Amino acid sequence: MPEAGKMLVVVGLVVAAIGALLWSGIGRGWFGKLPGDIHYSRGNFTFYFPIATCILLSILLTLVVRLFRK
């Protein structure tokens, strides 16, 4: 069980670091505006689904988790 705790702490720190980078403005120009992100706007209605961004984040998080596995 201590290994699971360490993993949670590492994942939390990685997420916090990514959040701090995004909050500071790094990635503001491209993050969430990748080709493949769906954006539909008409009148008062706006629909936005960042599918390409979700896929990119999934790949990055998978790589991070695999790096810390034994």
CA torsion 4-54-26-14 (nearest 10°) is: 0
Domain count, the chain: 1
Neighbours of 46 (CB within 10 A): 9
pLDDT value for 42: 93
What domain range is 29 assigned to?
Answer: 2-68
pLDDT value for 70: 59
Q: 0.75 cut: is pTM over it?
A: no
Q: For 13-66, what is each residue's pLDDT tens digit?
A: 888 888 887 777 766 666 667 788 888 899 999 998 888 888 988 998 888 788
Please work out, in degrees rounded to the nearest 5, the angle formed at the alpha carbon of residue 24 by the alpha carbons of 67 and 59.
Answer: 30
pLDDT value for 45: 94
- DSSP labels, 31-55: TT--TT-EEEEETTEEEEE-HHHHH
